[in-house]
Amino acid sequence: MKLLVCGGAGFIGSNFVRSRLRAGDDEIVVLDKLTYAGRRENLKEVESDPRFSFIHGAIEDPVAVAGALEGVDAVVNFAAETHVDRSIAEPDAFVRTHALGTFVLLEGARERGARFLQVSTDEVYGSIEEGSFTESSPLDPSSPYSATKAGADLLVSSYHHTYGMQTLICRGSNNYGPYQYPEKLIPLMVLNAFAGYRLPVYGDGRNVRNWLFVEDFASAIGRVLEHGAPGEAYNVGGPDECENIVVVRRILELCGRDESLIDHVTDRPGHDRRYSLSSDKVRALGWSPATRFEEGLERTVSWYRDNPSWWEPIRSGDYLEYYKRQYGLSLPAD
């Protein structure tokens, strides 16, 4: 199958591309705008593979999209702005990429009769105190990030209902693992712990996330792409849920640091308390997560320990300015 993978230079997209090329006989074209979160280094392992090619471009650019779609059987769209805190501070790019970008991609795929898989998030359902969301739960997003992702999901579904396009949606819970940009909870805390910097925990730290190892999300997306029913959405939840403060304490242990590094800082505005997904529908397609949180977290900490050449260049320049704006702290830090 020839796949167009949009946003394939990011965290989950690059994991998906590596695993598909390792395991199968796909041909893969990556289209990526290379925002601060997208890096060619993430695709180094596959750069010399003759089945792989890269196009630098945006999903909201119809010319780049038309070129990238040549001969493509299916589109997998990871391209997105993905950090909730950035969506609160500067929502513009979230609207552009998720609304306009998804529309332009859908139009291109429709013209070529390509199957379309939209990578989405549990955040479109909003927060849930008890129990789990199913695919028929109402969408009730809280942040500009999740609201624009929900809008994209609705547009994708409308292309199935209106034009009979073969669309699929995968809604994943919180991913973690190698190559994640260190603005997200786990890599941020790991790198701060290595360096002995403060670990900024929002509010009381009792918010709950449902952790999914990135390779498990990549395999679920592959399974839905091949076996999912057109027009359907599939929830992909991780095997374990955990309060943030418990995650942070475990990271400190794995990094050989003590809890005096924890700082309880001002809470995120509109902070969702708990996410939880029922994944029965994707499990019925034969998928199940292979990695429990304890093992995945150890593997993740080891990967960051072994790969400073990946993250050292990130933790400078614009990143330091972002950090100062977000936390009011300088790195190297107080």
Q: Is residue 236 near ligand DAU by the rule CB under 6 A?
A: no
Residue among 60, 81, 125, 145 flagged as catalytic: 145
Please list every residue from 51 through 110 that binds ligand DAU, using CB under 6 A.
82-84
CA-CA-CA-CA dihedral for 330, 331, 332, 334, to nearest 10: 40
Pick the binder of ligand DAU from 15, 35, 148, 173 (CB under 6 A): 173
Please list every residue from 25 through 84 that binds ligand NAD, using CB under 6 A.
32-35, 37-38, 58-60, 78-82
Output the six-digit token pair for 250: 């475990």
Name, in order, each residue with C-beta under 8 angstroms of 59's C-beta and a sequence gap of 6 or more. Answer: 6, 7, 31, 33, 65, 77, 79, 97, 101, 102, 104, 105
Pick the binder of ligand DAU from 20, 115, 209, 281 (CB under 6 A): 209
Output the six-digit token pair for 164: 């009979």
Residue 145 falls in the annotated catalytic set: yes
Name the minimum Å distance from CB 334 to ligand NAD. Answer: 28
Q: Which helix or strand (DSSP H or E) is residue 187 part of?
A: helix 185-195
Pick the binder of ligand DAU from 122, 153, 215, 241 (CB under 6 A): 122
Which partner, ligand NAD, ligand DAU, none, binds residue 59 by CB below 5 to 8 Å per kind? ligand NAD
How far is the C-alpha of 232 from the C-alpha of 281, rounded, in Å?
Answer: 10
Residue 318 falls in the annotated catalytic set: no
Pick the binder of ligand DAU from 33, 98, 115, 184 (CB under 6 A): 184
Pick the binder of ligand NAD from 102, 166, 174, 276 (CB under 6 A): 174
Beta-sheet strands, E only, within the chain: 2-6, 27-32, 52-56, 74-77, 115-121, 167-172, 175-176, 199-202, 208-213, 232-236, 240-243, 262-265
Supply φ then ψ for residue 283, to 5 degrees.
-65, -35
CB-side neighbour CA atoms (13 Å) of 39: 16
Q: Is residue 182 near ligand NAD by the rule CB under 6 A?
A: no
How far is the C-alpha of 122 from the C-alpha of 51, rounded, in Å?
Answer: 32
Listed ranges 87-95, 196-204, 277-285, 287-295: which one lies at the site for ligand DAU (CB under 6 A): 196-204
In single-letter form, the type of residue at position 234 comes to Y
CA distances to 74, 82, 89, 92, 259 from 97, in Å: 20, 10, 16, 9, 39
Q: Toward ligand DAU, which CB reaches closer, 52 or 197?
A: 197
Helices (H) and strands (E) in the chain, counts: 13, 12
Q: Toward ligand NAD, which CB reaches closer, 43 or 255?
A: 43
Residue among 60, 81, 122, 183 flagged as catalytic: 122
CB-side neighbour CA atoms (13 Å) of 195: 17
Q: Is residue 12 near ligand NAD by the rule CB under 6 A?
A: yes
Pick the binder of ligand NAD from 3, 4, 5, 6 (CB under 6 A): 6
Name the minimum Å distance from CB 27 to ligand DAU. Answer: 28
Q: Is residue 11 near ligand NAD by the rule CB under 6 A?
A: yes
Name the minimum Å distance from CB 213 to ligand NAD. Answer: 11
Place of tokens 């609160």: 88
Which partner, ligand DAU, ligand NAD, none, binds residue 207 by CB below 5 to 8 Å per kind? ligand DAU
Are 333 and 198 within 8 A, CB to CB? yes
- Which residue's CB atom is positioned nearest to ligand NAD? 10
Output the six-digit token pair for 117: 């898989």
Binding site for ligand DAU (CB under 6 A): 82-84, 121-123, 173-174, 184-185, 188, 200-202, 207, 209, 244, 268, 275
Q: Give catalytic residues, as residue numbers.
A: 122-123, 145
Binding site for ligand NAD (CB under 6 A): 6-7, 9-13, 32-35, 37-38, 58-60, 78-82, 97, 101, 119, 121, 149, 172, 174-175, 181
